[in-house]
Chain A
Amino acid sequence: MPDTLTSATESCTIPVTGMTCAACSGRVQRTLERTEGVSSANVNLMTGAATVAFDPAVTSAERLVETIRSTGYGAELPVREESSEALLNAQDAARSEEMTDLRRKLALSVAVGVIAMALAMLDIGSGDAARYALLALTLPVVGWAGRHFYTRAWAAFRHHGADMNTLIAVGTGAAFVYSAVVTLWDDWFAARGVEPHVYYEAVVWIIALVLLGNLLEARAKRQTSGAIRRLIGLRPATARVVRDGLEEEVPLAALRPGQEVLVRPGETVPADGLIVDGTSNVDESMLTGEPIPVPKHPGDQVIGATLNRNGAFRFRVERVGSGTVLSRIIRLVQQAQGSKAPIQRLADRISAVFVPVVLSIAIATFVVWFDVGPAPAYLHALVSAVTVLIIACPCAMGLAVPTAVMVATGRGAELGVLIKGGEPLERSQALDTIVFDKTGTITEGRPAVQAVALADGSGVSREVDLLGLAAAVERLSEHPLAEAIVAEAQRRGATGHEVAGFESPTGRGVLGLVAGRRVAVGNLALLRDLGVDPGPLATRADAFAAQGWTPMYVAVEQALAGLIAVADPVKPTSAEAVGRLARLGLDTVMLTGDNPRTAESVARSVGITRVLAEVPPDRKLDEIRRLQEEGRVVAMVGDGLNDAPALARADVGIAMGTGTDVAIEAGAVTLMRGDPLGVVTAIRLARSAMRVIQQNLFWAFIYNVIGIPVAAGVLYPAFGLRLTPAMAAAAMAVSSVSVVTNSLRLRRFSPGGSS
């Protein structure tokens, strides 16, 4: 009954906090597994997430969160991405509806504005009949096109709130009501020697220009969330499941872990999993920024949403829905976009008092013009007060920071650089020191055999034999250097030896009987213990060490047989990354548990001058703290797995990974691919974003600081210079649009630039 099977299980990933060791995650996992309705639970310590499959009829995500909390750890309700996708669509729909509406209203306002201008130019706008005609024309503009300014201002007013609508409503309202009164009771004014002067044209043009500004702003704002939209759009609608040799197209929502899926050339990988059959090249650029397609073989990981290029393959689904890399990226970007940069606090404080302050200034402007202005004083007073209300623009201030944070974090995600919010963005720009945890960032993190040297007269005369003997013993060791020897032996076809009597003296190496011969692989100390003279190969060993390689001696039956040099190769872009960081004015430091000699040589080869060697994993944090005490603002670059405390201690923790292996949630910044140039991209993007934010804030401040006094007429006494309300409306529309447009420049941020 496949139907009940698919409908009866739901899966969710719940972020769990406070777990520090495997015992913690084990406890959470056991508790979940014992919970009624849970069919499977997997708690990952590294990512701090519990992936639970459960029967929605028996339990719910909310109850699972409570269950986790009952174990003493923190848990948050997972954000339902279906709903966030639906919300995004709803937002799109609402925005296009709003834009259609704005366009219609704008068309009417502009049409009326042009007619009013024509009347004025033909000099028939001053007569009695013309005033009535203008009133009739303006009514639909105020009553329909601009109606929402008044209703929204009123809604806010009832809550003691005031926003942009308040300013427009009061400004245009005052001008319109005055004009209407003059039109309807012109005799009363004429009897008192006041020439009936009306401002219908100004009212219409203010409304038209503000509507135009809103329209442009709505369009620009839609583009700020473009990156998220593109990420969500990467997900295919269906997957081709292979069941008993038959292919079946199923909707993505019905895909389950454990199923096998066929992916043909040109198709999108529907979920995360492991290749079981077939080889291909997969374009992962949409998630990692890696421009070159990655070759994939059986056993390799594939990530959902990446694009299969040239070969067909089958893979076993491991993660679906909210547990996939794509979903986690989307979630992180959304969270980042919802966060606030500290720099916004000032803007927030100003926006909070902005409108009432502007209202006060407008009233003061009226009073001053009325008291000391030229005749007709009350007319100048009215026009100046209206101009002040119209020119003031709180929107630019409110949009300055969030739009830039949204565009920057979105652009980062496209480049494989996840910046987790406004705060990391702001701190990244202040960095002066970048600490690399050597293994896995500067180097590949996968040691490999670099060279083999044979000793004379040991009975081992071929490199492949030496590797075969060494690999036989090393196979039982868990040391990363041992893996390198085993891999090299396999590659050269030297396998098949059995080992007996295995020993592993700590910090020395390994010993064992291989085909009746006693084989020892290890360092100088091991040779000394065995009484073997390293003399014949001592100079070769020194030469290897000078290159940053680790020499391992092999002894057979108490005689020196050879040397195997193993090293973790330096990544091809490490030197370029260090060089570019230096040009950005940043100091680089390398941190490693290796011996100083190996460390120095690696550092030299990439251009790092400061090395902190022989630092055990638990002391990395102290080294970061020491650097901070020197007054440095430090970023720590690590794999996010073994160095999580150091990443957390650093001002900015940068986790670097490759594809699915990356601990996406670790660090303030995550690089989706293991390229150290990503660090350069992250810092340059942060600097560009902060520059845009500062420009936006400066513009928003200076615009109001200059605009409002000029509108009030401070230049009038000296220069006779004043703004008309329509000019003020144009300035305001330009101001908020320009801020959003400036933020949108970040969409074109390129990682290759040099600034």
Chain B
Amino acid sequence: MTSAQLVVTLAGLAAIAWVNWYFFIAGRTPVIASVGQGGAQRVRVEVKGGYVPAVIRVRAGSPVHLEFHRDETNPCTEEVVLPDFGIRTFLPAHRTTAVSFTPGEGTYEFACGMGMVRGTIIAERGA
């Protein structure tokens, strides 16, 4: 093996390790939006290549209004789906679209129409 081959091989292995770290491990650090007590729970979610926050902690049993602000025209995120609540809605670009539902205790997923961009809703008692 030439030195060039050795360098490319090591660099390749390092790149593979980095790709897997960056997308699978580093990406897991959640941004948590806690919602205040009393009244309706409103959470604004920025939609641009992903959801921010991607992990939302809410109180179970009371209505949640998620306000999706989609600031891009990428059709990948044009729809948001909350399968557990039977919601599939279009998000017009550069506008805020609200969806409302009342979660029971549990963890729910929301995702784009094709399931590539994802977020999680954690509903807890007395949270």
Contacts and interface: CB of A to CB of B under 8 A. Distances in A.
A395 B116 CA distance: 9
A91 interface: yes
Interface stretch (A273-281, A357-365, A572-580): A357-365
B88 A77 contact: no
Interface string B21-63: 0111011100000000000100000001111101000000001
A355 B12 contact: no
B93 interface: yes
Interface string A343-377: 01001100111011001100110110011000000
> Which 10 interchain pairs have the tightest Cβ spacing?
A160-B27, A155-B49, A159-B50, A338-B88, A398-B114, A335-B86, A340-B83, A367-B12, A156-B49, A91-B90
Given A65-B63, A148-B74, A158 B49 contact: yes
B124 interface: no
Main secondary structure of the interface of A (DSSP, over half): helix
A163 interface: yes
A156 B48 CA distance: 7
A156 B16 CA distance: 19
A713 to B, nearest CB: 15
A335 B72 CA distance: 26
Given A338-B83, A355-B23, A398-B115, A364 B72 contact: no
Nearest to B114: A398
Given A65-B63, A160-B27, A356-B24, 15 more contacts: A77-B102, A90-B90, A152-B72, A160-B23, A161-B23, A165-B74, A218-B75, A338-B83, A347-B115, A348-B111, A348-B115, A352-B118, A356-B23, A360-B16, A370-B8
A300 to B, nearest CB: 33
A61 B33 CA distance: 26
A164 interface: yes
26 contacts: A62-B40, A77-B101, A87-B90, A94-B78, A94-B92, A94-B93, A148-B73, A152-B49, A154-B49, A155-B49, A155-B74, A156-B50, A158-B50, A159-B49, A159-B51, A160-B26, A160-B27, A160-B50, A339-B83, A339-B86, A356-B20, A364-B12, A366-B8, A371-B8, A398-B113, A402-B114
Contacts of B50: 155-156, 158-161
B73 to A, nearest CB: 7
A337 B88 contact: yes
Nearest to B111: A348
Interface string B98-113: 0011100000000101
Contacts of A162: 23
Nearest to B88: A338
A395 B114 contact: yes
Contacts of A360: 16, 19-20
Contact of B27 (A87, A95, A159): A159
Contacts of A159: 27, 48-52, 54
Interface of B: 1, 5, 8-9, 12-13, 15-16, 19-20, 22-24, 26-28, 40, 48-52, 54, 63, 72-76, 78, 81-83, 85-90, 92-93, 97, 100-102, 111, 113-118
Interface residues of A, number: 58
Contacts of B63: 62, 65, 77
A65 B16 CA distance: 52
Given A94-B78, A363-B15, A363-B16, A77 B24 contact: no
Nearest to B7: A370
Interface of A: 62, 65, 74, 76-77, 84, 87-88, 90-91, 94-95, 98, 148, 152, 154-165, 214, 218, 334-340, 344, 347-348, 351-353, 355-356, 359-360, 363-364, 366-367, 370-371, 394-395, 398-399, 402, 421
Q: Which of A98, A159, A214, A335 has the most CB of B within 10 A?
A: A159
Contacts of A394: 114, 116
Nearest to A353: B24
A340 B30 CA distance: 24
Given A65-B63, A90-B90, A90-B92, A161 B12 contact: no
A95 B90 CA distance: 11
A91 B88 CA distance: 12
Contacts of A62: 40, 63
A155 B72 CA distance: 9
A163 B9 contact: no
A62 B115 CA distance: 30
A218 B114 CA distance: 13
Contact of A351 (B1, B19, B85, B116): B116
B8 A367 contact: yes
A164 B114 CA distance: 11
Contacts of A218: 75
Contacts of B20: 356, 360
Q: Which of A95, A218, A338, A352 has the most CB of B within 10 A?
A: A338
A370 B93 CA distance: 44
A80 B13 CA distance: 53
A338 B114 contact: no
A728 to B, nearest CB: 20
A176 to B, nearest CB: 19
B86 A160 contact: no
A62 B24 CA distance: 39
A4 to B, nearest CB: 29
A214 B40 CA distance: 40
Contacts of B52: 159
B76 A152 contact: yes
A201 B36 CA distance: 56
Contacts of A95: 75
